[in-house]
Chain A
Amino acid sequence: AQTVTQSQPEMSVQEAETVTLSCTYDTSESDYYLFWYKQPPSRQMILVIRQEAYKQQNATENRFSVNFQKAAKSFSLKISDSQLGDAAMYFCAYLVPGSARQLTFGSGTQLTVLP
């Protein structure tokens, strides 16, 4: 069974600084996708960034980027120039392509942005 582990229940960062959230996963699959979702206090789940396992290049979306280390099964999220609006719970998630395509989530990291 696939598992996703987020070892940092809480993180904080100063506004305008950079923070990195960690995620590791366990799988025997060779083809899969990894995601980071943001959940603000409204509890909406917002897709932040996606990484395909077959791509060596790390995904980037504006201030958000990932460090994907396939051999180490590590998938960290870097937030640059942190803003107050980045404060949220961040979930790492994993998906195997196929008929079901269900997402498996980690337990989340609560990010606080300090003014």
Chain B
Amino acid sequence: EPEVTQTPSHQVTQMGQEVILRCVPISNHLYFYWYRQILGQKVEFLVSFYNNEISEKSEIFDDQFSVERPDGSNFTLKIRSTKLEDSAMYFCAKTGSSYNEQFFGPGTRLTVL
């Protein structure tokens, strides 16, 4: 399967700042997902994105979060005003040749100070 890449690998930010996490480069995929993993905890679903629209979002995905596919390839997750509890690994995932399996990017480790 083609790789899913994410940038940056590690982001350190101050509480209240905006961060943008990116999946790059991706083309010809319809389904994307963002997941979050707080250190030592399980992976949690944030949002699914199908054909340039949000398909479903979890209760975690509140108004502080947004997703975009600004240029048809990059897929971004924006956190508008970061909180300490947003510190986590954020994973982008895509479907494979079967829409019922998902392949994860290497993740972005977000640290909020």
Q: Which residues of A contact B (CB under 8 A)?
A: 33, 35, 37, 42-47, 50, 52, 91, 93, 95, 97, 99-108
Given contacts A101-B31, A101-B95, A101-B99, contact A45 B42 (CB under 8 A): no
Q: Are B45 and A103 in contact (CB under 8 A)?
A: yes
| Chain A hits for B35, CB < 8 A | 103
Once the chains are docked, how many angstroms separate the CA of A113 from the CA of B89? 25
Once the chains are docked, how many angstroms separate the CA of A35 from the CA of B98? 13
Contacts A33-B100, A102-B56 supplied; 13 other A-B pairs, CB < 8 Å: A43-B106, A45-B104, A47-B101, A91-B42, A93-B43, A95-B100, A97-B99, A100-B48, A101-B31, A101-B33, A103-B33, A103-B102, A105-B42
Once the chains are docked, how many angstroms separate the CA of A47 from the CA of B55? 23
Neighbour of B48 across the interface among A43, A50, A101, CB < 8 A: A101
| Chain B hits for A105, CB < 8 A | 42-44
Could you tell me the distance in whole angstroms from the C-beta of A42 to the nearest C-beta in chain B?
Answer: 7
Q: Which interface class (under 10, 10 to 19, 20 to 34, 35 or more) fits B?
A: 20 to 34
| Chain A hits for B42, CB < 8 A | 91, 105-108
Given contacts A35-B101, A103-B35, A107-B41, contact A44 B56 (CB under 8 A): no
Q: Are B91 and A45 in contact (CB under 8 A)?
A: yes
Neighbour of A44 across the interface among B31, B41, B58, B104, CB < 8 A: B104
Chain A, Cβ-Cβ closest to B95 = A101
Question: For the complex, is B103 an interface residue (Cβ under 8 Å from A)?
Answer: yes
Interface residues of B in 33-53 (CB under 8 A from A): 33, 35, 37, 41-45, 48, 50
Give the top 5 A-B pairs by smallest Cβ distance, nearest first: A100-B56, A45-B104, A102-B45, A105-B43, A105-B42
| Chain B hits for A97, CB < 8 A | 99-100
| Chain B hits for A42, CB < 8 A | 106
Chain A, Cβ-Cβ closest to B33 = A102
Chain A, Cβ-Cβ closest to B54 = A100
Once the chains are docked, how many angstroms separate the CA of A97 from the CA of B55? 13
